[in-house]
Amino acid sequence: MELPRPDPAIPHLADVVPSVLAAMGVGGFDPRIPLPYDVAGACVLLIDGLGAELLDTYAADAPVLAGLRGLTLQVGFPSTTAAGLAAVGTGCRSGEHGMVGMTFRLPDVGVINALRWRPHPWGEDLRDGAPPEEVQPRSTVFERAAATGVSVSVVSGAQFGGSGLTRAVLRGGRYVGVHALGDLGATVRAAVADGGFCYGYHADLDLVGHLHGPGSTAWRMQLRQVDTLVESIIEGLPSGGLLAVVADHGMVSVDEDAVVDIDASAALRDGVEAIGGEARARHIYTRAGALDDVLTGWRDILGDRAWVVTRDQAIAAGWFGERVTDEVRLRIGDVVAAARGSAGLLRRTVEPIESSLVGQHGSLTDAEQRVPLLIAHR
């Protein structure tokens, strides 16, 4: 089975913020994506779950977004929020920033949930035991920009302020916690009008996609709200203001006929010490000496429902970027399984809520990997 590989001709999500800051004239940032604008203030607004294929399919529900359609980006592996936000915040691929899944194993800590910053599936807060600034020690693009004197704001849900993931990958700007679309839009407009740089985040399109499925009536209604949000921000852009709308991943609906419940399969758990990742992208950490048997077993059972490879094969295929540090290498599973088609690699006992979701993401399909880069400039 031929393995998917990143397309070097397609820009990466990690390239967006450095390119916008370069267009603003901020020193130390390369224009990885050429933006031929005079930019006086800017916002990169991330709409969680807004895949390029979904936007193109439901363009009639989002005429403002569709009217801005330009470049398509790739988000890298895994196509999940922790990795996507880290790419935005660090300007790096997952092999360097180290957020290699929603859950992954940290040496001497165990499997951690990067969204909750707790042991997986649950446990005590790990912000003291595994300080986020040590788990992801690279300077963020926000820290680097602020060090040059640029006013930097991070505008996201009030509940995420000070979270482990925020501290790990979004630190460096003034955090502004918001509660709804209205104060998100107003705060973004004010930050750009003041000539600063702002990163904004909206979560609900992803949430509705998980619960009801991407393309469902509920999802389309939420997409219309996002379209209105973006329209309102554009209306308030000052001269020289720029808005770049991106996403962290797309989404697919999982087919029950293509689902495998790992927890119900003794064969899939044989020789396995721990499991990380999520429903469309799994890290399998094997017991000593069990790698070959686990690899063979997972390939035999999953068949064409997933690409199942060793850590070395995944790295060689470029799934985690051109460079994988020694520290990050240890976080990647000995075996990595990436779902194909509409398959789901569920854990109905350990992850009952996540396993019940209709929409899922994390793998290497175009529906999950490709996101739009939508630019508005005055």
Give pLDDT tens digits for 284-340. 999 999 999 999 999 999 999 999 999 999 999 999 999 999 999 999 999 999 999
32-59 average pLDDT score: 97
Q: Is the CB of residue 289 less than 8 Å from the CB of residue 319?
A: no
d(CA 170, CA 313): 30
Bridge-based pairing state of the strands 370-372 and 72-74: antiparallel
At 136-179, the pLDDT tens digits run 999 999 999 999 999 999 999 999 999 999 999 999 999 999 99
Tokens representing 203 are 């979560």
Report whether 87 contacts 13 (CB < 8 A): yes
Is the pLDDT reported for residue 1 higher than 80?
A: no
Residue 238 pLDDT exceeds 80: yes
pLDDT at position 35: 95
Residue 263 token pair: 């927890």
pLDDT of residue 261: 98
Q: What is the mean pLDDT of residues 249-260?
A: 98
Whether 112 has a pLDDT exceeding 80, the answer reads yes
pLDDT confidence band for 375 (50 / 70 / 90): very high
pLDDT above 80 (res 38): yes
Percent with pLDDT over 90 in the chain? 99
| Mean of pLDDT values over 361-370 | 98
d(CA 140, CA 67): 31
- Smallest CA-to-CA distance from 293 within 330, 334, 254 is with 334
**pLDDT classification of 49: cutoffs 50, 70, 90:** very high
For residue 270, pLDDT beyond 80: yes
pLDDT at 62: 98
Q: How far apart are CA 176 and CA 56, in angstroms?
A: 32
pLDDT digit string, tens, across residues 54-84: 999 999 999 999 999 999 999 999 999 999 9
Domains of the chain: 13-251+365-377 (3.40.720.10), 256-359 (3.30.1360.180)
Average pLDDT of the residues of the chain: 98
Q: Quick check: 341 and 45 in contact, CB under 8 A?
A: no
Q: Is the pLDDT of residue 93 over 80?
A: yes
